[in-house]
Structure 1
């Protein structure tokens, strides 16, 4: 397989750290301006230099999205903003607007320009025009199939790269350009605030019969979800993407959480490095997703004909803070994210390593100095075993349950772990979710 860059979403600090930890070659992120994910955590402008430096320290490139539709007011601010990105060390800016492209080239000439998918570039002639304007990489229109991509690639001049989405939520609108949210909710999809009305349930009404609803007959009980698309997964077809000439594969998900980023990046990293796609495809079932398809790469992708239900069979319960040898094994110190019990069988995600299983043994709560333990001790919910050697006036309690979110616990494990490894448990948390998040493509 030809080498392809693995480009991961970083909607916030923690997602950035975990994308890097689990093997991304590059990340894409945004400040609180000009990105298509306004509901993501994003980064304050003053934090961008530190975020970019963190990625660079780990050999990871940073692409900053500047791909909303631009008004004159936005354009007036862009010289300042692109200078900020250049000074911060951004490797590339992802841009859709021609005026923004020209300003970036003038103000920050050392920042590469990547043409956003929202420009709907899907032919070599168009791509060459963009290249003449300073574009180094084209993020392809997601409606292209593999034959079209290969034909386009064969006609491109040397040095013009192509990037394509390989995984994540799909948008029903052409290259993500949609006005439904604007009209129905007043929230502009092309300004980063999509309410995702394509995921809603629809039925027909008729003016002379008020209050009477007529389902679009996909499902007489649930109604129609004719605009709700399936999620994409190309994990089993990375050879085909490479053969078509794609230089970078992109994971959608800047509005997604840490576990999604870690799990998906880990799966793609392992397969890119030679792992079995079938093994790692099962890993993709552990994080929240709609039914998968292969997008437009092999033809029509199909739709999600049911409610906006996310399927997830596992839950992240802790992130690793440290791990030290202890009594013939190891003791891992973690930050609790969701409840788990002493005696639970858990799985651990570590970079470039098969998923491992162990049992939680000798569960210890690291109580902060200011914690009032009166009720805990009175109700026999924990037993003090001594002071916390790492925290002045902290105390260690043996407990049966870890249920204090973002507090620290430790337990015995049979193998060594690294900071930012993930502990998860088999727990079906599938749910029907009425989404109000941003449009899935940027």
Structure 2
């Protein structure tokens, strides 16, 4: 039986790896390790289908070391022993150990001395955060690298390669992939190249030729093969981004029903990363100090959604969308930082006042660093009469409170009190 397209198209060298240029690009860490032939065991973590196995395969192909694949959850200690014996007989073996976070103590204890000796170079693959899920004994003997979701451009490049490769890909088929179908295939799989390539292969091999002996892959065919409906895209994909824009603006406008509608369209399109990113932005840009607890709940909901994946992810997402819609709104945070940035970009900065400068080094006193600084906690209300801004902008004011929620109302009251204290100070002078 022929192996899946995604398996056949695995890179044979680092130059064939799609994406992950922060690791395998020219001058980057994994490429440097391979070129110097100074490989060490590593853990690659990131979402499914983003290239963890591909990088391991490419490392083996670039170094000509033997390459073996095992699964920490399903393969046994005996399987590890076979790999270790091969390493003793023939030299270094690169072992891709999938689901490395599920390595039990017995297998771990067997593996550790072989990692120490360098006979086995383990490349552990996991979708879980290794700093939380992997035993410190393994972590201390490996380098940890994050593998990131592939961009639409990365996936489209891989699709084109698969369509023209006659040896490993689909180059022996006369395929016409419509532009909208290509766009949907590269988006609907959420950076998962494995899903994109396997969906492409299903589409090619299940679609009959037309009268011109050509296999034409339409948007409808791709939708069926990846089991994701496309939102209606125009030529430039503008409708996709229109929905995202409408999603944020509906939450900002406190329209629960509209926000849930646009959320449902994004869920149906499978755009979990976009939904999560947009919700995080909304929570801090549009709700902000109006309801800081809702922003914290958004972070928790996003983490739950990413952990669950679809379809269950829709539940925490819907919950937090309703929460954000009905929360008091405040954009004072983004307005304040943008005002401060505007001053910086216009050259309005100036020197840090001497009494605020770092004084924790020899000679600081001679330079008048830190002299005269007053510790606010030694004074009533933890406030003392001293200047913090540089002279050039000492009267600048960036934060403009918005009284739409109880929390920011309290902040406003304190802000006003401090301003009154400053006025009293200035009046005395």
Which is helix-richer, 1 or 2? Answer: 2
Q: Same fold per TM (> 0.5)?
A: no
Q: What's the TM-score bracket when you normalise by the shorter of the two chains?
A: under 0.3
Which is strand-richer, 1 or 2? Answer: 1
Report the TM-score when normalising by structure 1. Answer: 0.27
Report the TM-score when normalising by structure 2. Answer: 0.28
